[in-house]
């Protein structure tokens, strides 16, 4: 049987990183079946195009995975595929949270023949077998003999054969630059960001987060050896392809068990398996100096920190009091001293937020080393404690916001601001954080860092701007480049100066050695 795994596009970003679930399920598919993958972010298709592809390829089963924000699009695609007579199974966080919706048991239309609840590592081979026999059931839940939920141990962990996968669609080098780099850019023929999980689960239970509910509070880790092997394979692959590979450890809290994280990082260093990496780590765990040293030595470059708010009352409201705003600056300086920068994530529209929250937050951010701040509105995802609380209080304005998805739009009324005011604060925060003047100040503030380091920082800032300001075509990018020409010009000028100086040095060294040779003869 041919199986298609499909991830709908999110409408915001293109092909920055493959979705791990597709590659993981592909690795777990019984070998007698063929698996095709389409990530809508890398290969956008409308309903007709997707159905045409499925019919042409004679696909017998389609698996669709989606977060809440992409679920409406996922349903539309599923409807078109089912109308063409091909069965659809859906999985991932959203259908796990509200399975009745996908199955049409809540009074709405049905979108899926079957749903896979929770972690599907163990149920997927069974789903495939049942589908191949034409005996697909409606619900697949990972249960043990006693009907209790069973979580995969991650030991052993399947080998994801990244080297055999067609990753061209995830190359971060813009298509127009590729021929040039092919000829001249040794080691930069391609750039890929690869997702790796080293463990699953987070026990913290922040009120708005689906992770504790979905992965459970029992944390599970792969063996160090299995993670190190994957890194070594990726490193080899990068060398062979004369390209760059970066890694995103997608664990929800990569240092949740500090002892284990340190031991993993030590093993990575000992095996020479370092690749530039990014991970999510909560601020409280970055108090540990030794951990931060190991992060730097193992080539950790960017750490995503869910700061959420600079107001302790807000943090207490969402069960995140382990975040201490008073120590944010210390943590960020500790990272920056080692050349590590932070993606700092904030939520607006929390219950204690008032008008001016953007200005207050921006003032704090300005006092920190430069990083990549991102801002979102508090979003009640189904099945979270936050959702239940807001339902009870009658505060949801769009109880099924996902069926009518709109980026950066609130679905409930905050306590001390209006919805419109929250939207205005978000806009202010994004505009001020990524305006050309702020970008220039950020790069100037790390003038002592190497040029390539600063250039990468600027490029990343320009990309991150696109999370809020649509930047999906060449025209939009051109405008961004023109607006930021001062920062770009400064770096290019410095780079050219260094290149000329190096050339002059080489020439004078050559003429010196010619003179010496003549003298000697
Ligand atoms: C990596 C990641 C991202 C990446 C996504 C890009 C990428 N290419 O991966 C980035 C950083 C861009 C991102 C952004 C966001 N993310 Co995110 N992200 C994650 C994260 C940390 C890991 C995802 C992952 O790969 N997990 C590992 C795989 C193996 O698990 P999985 O995807 O759940 O798949 C398993 C099962 O669900 C199931 N399964 C999944 N799909 C399917 C399909 C089929 C057919 C079947 C059978 C089974 C199945 O099988 C898999 C194996 O067990 C998760 C948290 C988490 N730990 O999962 C959050 C998470 C998915 N993100 C979340 C959110 C909210 C966001 C944002 C909206 C945050 C924000 N406020 O901006 C943005 C939106 C991005 C966008 N524009 O679409 C939420 C989603 C909640 C929800 N109900 O939708 C999560 C769960 C985290 C949370 N705090 O609650 N994210
Ligand atoms: S620390 Fe992060 S992953 Fe863990 S519950 Fe809180 S928001 Fe979710």
Instruction: Please choose, from the candidates 431, 406, 432, 430, the residue with its C-alpha nearest in 3D space to the C-alpha of residue 419.
Output: 406
- The reported pLDDT for the residue numbered 518 is 64
465 pLDDT more than 70: yes
- What residue's CA is closest to ligand 1, atom 48? 91
Q: What number is the average pLDDT over the span 126-135?
A: 98
> Which pLDDT tens digit goes with each residue over 379-401?
999 999 999 999 999 999 999 99
Task: Tell me: pLDDT of 480 over 90.
Answer: yes
Tokens of 249: 């450890």
Closest CA to 205 of 194, 195, 217, 197: 217
DSSP code of residue 118 = S
In angstroms, how far apart are the furthest CA atoms of the chain? 96
The tens digit of pLDDT for each residue in 231-276 reads 999 999 999 988 899 999 999 999 999 999 999 999 999 999 999 9
pLDDT of res. 342 = 98
The DSSP-derived string for 302-359 is EEEEEEE-S-HHHHHHTT-TT--GGGHHHHHHHHHHTT-EEEEEEEE--TT--TTHHH
- Is 121 close to ligand 1, i.e. is its CB under 6 Å away? yes
CB 19 near ligand 1, within 6 Å:
yes
Kindly state the percentage of the chain with pLDDT values over 90.
82
Residue 218: the pLDDT is 80
What's the pLDDT at 360?
Answer: 98
CA nearest neighbour of 414 among 379, 363, 374: 379
Residue 209 Cα to ligand 2 midpoint, Å, equals 6
Strands 191-196 and 220-221: unpaired
This prediction has a pTM of 0.94
Q: Does the C-beta of 21 come closer than 6 Å to ligand 1?
A: yes
Å from CA of 67 to ligand 1 middle: 6
Q: How many CB atoms lie within 10 A of CB 45?
A: 16
Ligand 2 atom, smallest distance to 202 CA: 4
Q: Is the peptide bond before 113 cis (omega within 30 degrees of 0)?
A: no
With 60 as the cut, is the pLDDT of residue 347 above it?
yes
The per-residue pLDDT for 330 is 97
Separation of alpha carbons 297 and 302, rounded Å: 13
Assigned token pair, 330: 């210390």
pLDDT of 519 > 80? The answer is no
Q: What is the mean pLDDT of residues 468-475?
A: 88
Q: What integer best gives the mean pLDDT of the chain?
A: 93
Q: Report the alpha-carbon distance of residue 127 to residue 120 in Å, rounded.
A: 9
What is the number of the ligand closest to the CA of 206? 2
CA 89 to ligand 1: nearest atom: 45
Is pLDDT at 184 greater than 80 in this prediction?
Answer: no
Q: Give which of 70, 61, 63, 62 is closest to 94, Cα–Cα.
A: 70
Which residue has the CA at smallest separation from atom 23 of ligand 1? 250
Q: Torsion angle of alpha carbons 54, 59, 60, 65, nearest 10°?
A: -70
Ligand 2 centroid to 235 CA: how many Å?
Answer: 30
Q: What whole-number percentage of the chain has pLDDT above 70?
A: 97
What pLDDT score was predicted for residue 516? Answer: 66
Does residue 10's CB lie within 6 angstroms of at least one atom of ligand 1? yes
User: Which ligand has its closest atom nearest to the C-alpha of 279?
Assistant: 1
Ligand lying nearest the CA atom of residue 282: 2
Residue whose pair of structure tokens reads 């994280």 in the numeric block: 261
pLDDT value for 171: 84
Q: Which residues pair with 344 in a beta bridge?
A: 305, 373
Taking the C-alpha atoms of residue 416 and residue 138, their distance in angstroms, rounded to an integer, is 44
pLDDT value at 354 more than 70: yes
Whole-number Å distance, alpha carbon 396 to ligand 1 midpoint, is 24
Confidence of residue 185 (pLDDT cuts 50, 70, 90): low
Mean pLDDT of 309-333: 98
Distances (CA, A) of 87 to 112, 127, 129, 166, 270: 8, 12, 13, 25, 48
Note the pLDDT tens digit of each residue in 497-513: 988 888 888 777 777 66
Mean per-residue pLDDT, 426-434: 98
Smallest-distance ligand from the CA of 19: 1
């Amino acid at each position: 049987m041919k199986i298609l795994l499909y991830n709908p596009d999110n409408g915001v970003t293109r092909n920055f990183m493959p979705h791990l679930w597709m590659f993981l399920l592909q690795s777990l598919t019984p070998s007698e079946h063929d698996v095709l993958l389409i990530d809508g972010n890398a290969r956008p298709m409308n309903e007709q195009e997707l159905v045409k592809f499925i019919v042409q390829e004679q696909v017998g089963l389609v698996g669709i995975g989606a977060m809440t924000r992409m679920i409406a699009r996922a349903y539309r695609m599923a409807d078109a595929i089912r109308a063409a007579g091909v069965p659809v199974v859906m999985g991932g966080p959203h259908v796990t949270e509200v399975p009745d919706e996908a199955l049409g048991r809540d009074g709405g239309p049905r979108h899926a023949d079957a749903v896979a609840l929770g972690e599907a590592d163990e149920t997927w081979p069974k789903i495939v077998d049942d589908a191949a026999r034409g005996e697909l059931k409606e619900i697949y839940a990972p249960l043990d003999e006693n009907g209790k939920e069973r979580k995969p141990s991650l030991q052993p962990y399947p080998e994801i054969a990244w080297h055999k996968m067609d990753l061209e669609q995830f190359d971060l080098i813009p298509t127009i630059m590729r021929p040039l780099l092919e000829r001249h850019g040794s080691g930069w023929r391609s750039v890929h960001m690869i997702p790796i999980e080293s463990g699953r689960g987070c026990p913290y239970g922040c009120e708005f987060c689906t992770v504790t509910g979905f992965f459970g509070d029992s944390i599970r880790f792969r063996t160090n050896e299995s993670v190190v092997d994957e890194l070594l394979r990726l490193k080899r692959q990068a060398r062979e392809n004369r390209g760059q590979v970066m890694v995103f450890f997608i664990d929800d809290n990569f240092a949740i068990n500090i002892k284990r994280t340190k031991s993993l990082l030590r093993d990575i260093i000992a095996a020479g398996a370092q690749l530039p990496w990014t991970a999510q780590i909560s601020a409280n765990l970055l108090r540990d100096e030794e951990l931060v040293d190991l992060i730097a030595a193992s080539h950790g470059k960017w750490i995503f920190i869910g700061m959420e708010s600079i107001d302790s009352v807000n943090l207490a409201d969402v069960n995140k009091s382990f975040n201490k705003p008073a120590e944010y600056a210390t943590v960020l300086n500790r990272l920056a001293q080692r050349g590590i920068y932070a993606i700092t994530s904030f939520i607006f529209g929390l219950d204690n937020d008032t008008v001016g929250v953007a200005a207050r937050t921006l003032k704090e951010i300005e006092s920190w080393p430069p990083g990549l701040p991102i801002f979102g509105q508090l979003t009640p995802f189904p099945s979270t404690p936050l959702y239940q609380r807001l339902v009870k209080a009658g505060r949801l304005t769009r109880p099924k916001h996902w069926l009518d998805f709109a980026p950066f739009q609130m679905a409930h009324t905050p306590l001390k601001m209006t919805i419109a005011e929250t939207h205005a604060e978000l806009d202010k925060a994004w505009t001020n954080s990524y305006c050309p003047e702020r970008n220039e100040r950020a790069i100037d503030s790390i003038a002592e860092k190497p040029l390539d380091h600063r250039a990468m920082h600027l490029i990343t800032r320009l990309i991150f701007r696109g999370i809020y300001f649509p930047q999906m075509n060449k025209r939009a990018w051109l405008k961004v480049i023109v607006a930021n020409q001062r920062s770009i010009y400064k770096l290019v000028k410095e780079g050219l100066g260094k290149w000329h100086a190096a050339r002059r040095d080489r020439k004078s060294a050559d003429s010196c050695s010619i003179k010496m040779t003549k003298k000697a003869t």
